[in-house]
Structure 1
């Protein structure tokens, strides 16, 4: 009997041990899951494991590497300077027990390619391993995102414990081309502002800054052999207000608005970007969008009429902003321009634009018609193709490759051209099927100058591209081999972006979403998880004094016809789980106002405005948006809600 009791007690003890072990395992798993949830790295790494413990960054922490590579040393110094700004710590490069170690693989890990890295954080050591210096730099960016948000502060922050969780991370980008385009022609941004933009890009592992350097409204790069380009083409009369409504220059009115980068300025920008593993892609937009060039050298157009640089009006009659293709001086001029551009920019590509050319002047120009006859060209589309192919030869003679907007497909694609597809994805698909390389940047997902929320609550622009549109965008169509897709970029055209602060507002957070599209694996994307991580990025942007949009919290108004009645409106938001309150009586809604319950609401008789706001946990989180009834009625007849 005693033996039986003892056996039962032994079995019970074993069961209790197993149960306690299981409870401990669940607790550890739960804690690790919570720790993983608290980590908000963007772009999301390929793989991550969270462990117990923390690494503490102190004034005694060192940053070391056995590599003598100059780029590695530059990254270490960049990191030391970055840490000093916010922490006040001056880290050493000597070995210590509390260290950050950067290792270039002696025997390359092929799975990391050129920009991937592994990151191991223990309580005493951070180790970043990569095949190339770029990977080590991206690993340092991830280290910064593991530290508290105040690490991004532009001033010394006191009373912060600079800890980060112990993790193992392996991270490799999906695409090699991860870019943003900044239009510095429509509105000029200073060298310092461009460098600030580069810093913001580096935080999210972008590697290409496409600068739109020339358009109708300004020529922005010094060409020493053609001084009129910056003497005349860089300046226009000053106007303030809504773009597209401005009056042209009055007789004798001085052109004081604008600016340009000297070649020394640009060399400094290029070096600043290179130190952050970002390459600058220069764009000189031809044969159209060339009014600043034509204003400087009027003999380059078919009409040869004198013009001033466009101040932001509706444009000149019939868009007389195209170069004369029948004029040999056009090509000799472009040869001079591209000679200096090729010498200045180390990027293997030169972007030649090629978009939105009004071809009517070519139809009427005797020189262009003679060119068509001499070259046996059937129409003006083939004339444009002739232009692009000839410019490609000029670009290639400088040791560069040509890239252009998808209009360069019209009339026949130049033999070695790369296509940047902006009018949807069809141009990119067509180019890829011809075995040409493609950068995907369709406007409805990637144009950062579009409305990002309800237009009634946003600064005026055109079109609509919400944060969710950018995040849910897939750059590789099912019908295309991914090897032809170099990657993609977001484009910030600046007609309606007069200041750098507004450029930031339009860029972020949509460019954060695109950063994950271009870096993270397709299987790793999840909208709900992204929003959770994105919200933890906002304090970092605040610390860095970066302006950004919170339109994702604002109300979305969706009107729809209701049987036997006028129309109803459904209210929603991109971020789920928010409470929406509304009024029709022209008062400001709050948590005591009617709450939207999911059923379409209708305008009472006499009501002309629907005002609405979002709340979370009893507090306002979105902006109050006031939408007129007639605006919502108009949308009922608009297929795609293009405002």
Structure 2
């Protein structure tokens, strides 16, 4: 799991692990993959070797120019296994296939596997802001994700309820229960070994309650004096400064190429007349964008400014779809990816509006991929069976797929765990609850075609492999 794309069988006994057999590599850069596989299967890691012995597992980087770096070929022949790929990620995925094939004393069948993912983004997002998780629990999920050929772990670590990673630039915003940077670096090292990129998220300009608790002067207030939860006043330069301070700090901690800026549910735009309700925002919009400038323009400008901050560190920005607004004179930067999760926002826009504008989209469809603790607001814990039988990466909103002409713009998808009611489940219950949805999502991101196995057989296979 996920099933391989193609296997050409051949006659022969196949390969089975045994004590004393070797894992050898043709490149020192495959040492991590070689040592991991050897440890998992009880083999001996022998490093770079040119000689050939019976029972060898050989890991090789090839020069298949232009091939998907996550693709691989695994050949089982003559009592030996050869896994080759254009990149170490592909070699790693080949070792995951071999590990599953011989699970529980099984035999890797004779023949050739040719395999590659359909989608380059295969993610799991975890809200650690509202429900803190231990470092050990997150590390266990990284191992699980790697074995299922996921390649992204999203960490939503700042929200109204908490700020969960140690900060040197603004220690005052950090919650009592948090991850230290040393713990995060350990998670990142494990993730790198398993070819999982960690995608951080500091959501803004909404969902900043933990920051506002330490800096109440940044709280947005209406003309009547009301203060919407978690919402900073984006007309104040100090609001941008503290968020940029944090973005710049954590850009040095997280080495991955992607960054989630959030941008969703800015409460200033969730009223009937933002300009009347928040005249300071309307004034700032006119000052920045002329007499026709709107609060939505100002909010879009905020998103672009934060994208500029992370882009300076070589990051590709991503934002939730309800952080993009129709009819604004200020347009979001073209390189900001859309994390499409809902069609319930005010002024909801269909997925094809984003796709038709040429945007790259990551699928977080809340109908299938949202595991919201406590099941509020008509959210229900998703099941693996429903994902397996009804969802594909093209099903971005509700249950209907967008036209196949947009397939290349849909980068992939991400299953998400949100902590709205953090005590609704324990860590162990969350792990158990997402187990089959993660496996079903992995299958559909690796190969969205109609599954060859029925759900009953797929689940039975998952149970056996676990």
Q: So what's the TM-score if we normalise by structure 1?
A: 0.64
C-alpha distance in 1 between matches for 2:53 and 2:422: 48
Asked whether 1:182 is paired with 2:129, we answer no
Asked whether 1:491 is paired with 2:416, we answer yes
C-alpha distance in 2 between matches for 1:420 and 1:148: 36
CA contact 1:178–1:487 (8 Å) conserved in 2: yes
1:264 offset after TM fit, Å? 2.4
Question: Which residue matches 2:255?
Answer: 346
CA contact 1:318–1:358 (8 Å) conserved in 2: no
CA contact 1:102–1:129 (8 Å) conserved in 2: yes
C-alpha distance in 2 between matches for 1:389 and 1:116: 35
Asked whether 1:280 is paired with 2:193, we answer no
Secondary structure of 2:372's aligned partner: coil
Select 1:433's aligned residue among 308, 333, 356: 356
C-alpha distance in 1 between matches for 2:461 and 2:99: 13
Deviations 1:279-298 (A, max 9, x none): 00000011111111111211
Is the alpha carbon distance of 1:463 and 1:378 closer, same or farther for their aligned partners in structure 2, counting shifts above 3 Å?
farther
Secondary structure of 2:297's aligned partner: helix
Question: Which residue matches 2:18?
Answer: 58
* Segment of structure 1 superposing worse, 134-143 or 502-511: 502-511
Deviations 1:80-109 (A, max 9, x none): 22234xxxx55544653111011111x316
Relative contact order (alpha carbons < 8 A, sep ≥ 6): 1 or 2 greater?
A: 2
Question: Which residue matches 2:370?
Answer: 447
Deviations 1:377-417 (A, max 9, x none): 54432332122122222222333222110012115441231
Matches of residues 154-165 of structure 1 in structure 2 within 5 Å?
161=105, 163-165=107-109
Question: Which residue matches 1:331?
Answer: 240
Secondary structure of 1:320's aligned partner: coil
* Segment of structure 1 superposing worse, 184-193 or 133-142: 184-193
Q: Let me know the Cα RMSD of the aligned residues.
A: 2.6
Question: Which residue matches 1:248?
Answer: none
Asked whether 1:218 is paired with 2:162, we answer yes
Secondary structure of 1:445's aligned partner: coil
CA contact 1:372–1:383 (8 Å) conserved in 2: yes
Question: Which residue matches 1:419?
Answer: 338
Is the alpha carbon distance of 1:503 and 1:123 closer, same or farther for their aligned partners in structure 2, counting shifts above 3 Å?
farther
CA contact 1:327–1:368 (8 Å) conserved in 2: no
Question: Which residue matches 1:539?
Answer: 464
Deviations 1:468-493 (A, max 9, x none): 33122122321643221111111111
Question: Which residue matches 2:287?
Answer: 374
CA contact 1:219–1:260 (8 Å) conserved in 2: yes
Question: Which residue matches 1:403?
Answer: 318
1:184 offset after TM fit, Å? 0.6
CA contact 1:61–1:99 (8 Å) conserved in 2: yes
Stretches of structure 2 lacking an aligned partner (at least 5 in a row): 395-401
Question: Which residue matches 1:462?
Answer: 379
CA contact 1:420–1:439 (8 Å) conserved in 2: yes
Secondary structure of 1:196's aligned partner: helix
C-alpha distance in 1 between matches for 2:57 and 2:22: 6
Question: Which residue matches 1:131?
Answer: 86
Number of residue equivalences: 435
Deviations 1:158-210 (A, max 9, x none): xxx45333232110100111101011111111111111100011111000001
C-alpha distance in 2 between matches for 1:261 and 1:450: 21
CA contact 1:419–1:428 (8 Å) conserved in 2: no
Is the alpha carbon distance of 1:120 and 1:426 closer, same or farther for their aligned partners in structure 2, counting shifts above 3 Å?
farther
CA contact 1:409–1:427 (8 Å) conserved in 2: no
CA contact 1:212–1:284 (8 Å) conserved in 2: yes
CA contact 2:275–2:294 (8 Å) conserved in 1: no
C-alpha distance in 2 between matches for 1:134 and 1:336: 33
Secondary structure of 1:96's aligned partner: coil
Select 1:99's aligned residue among 46, 56, 67: 56
C-alpha distance in 2 between matches for 1:462 and 1:482: 27
C-alpha distance in 2 between matches for 1:121 and 1:460: 51
C-alpha distance in 1 between matches for 2:427 and 2:111: 37
Secondary structure of 2:371's aligned partner: coil
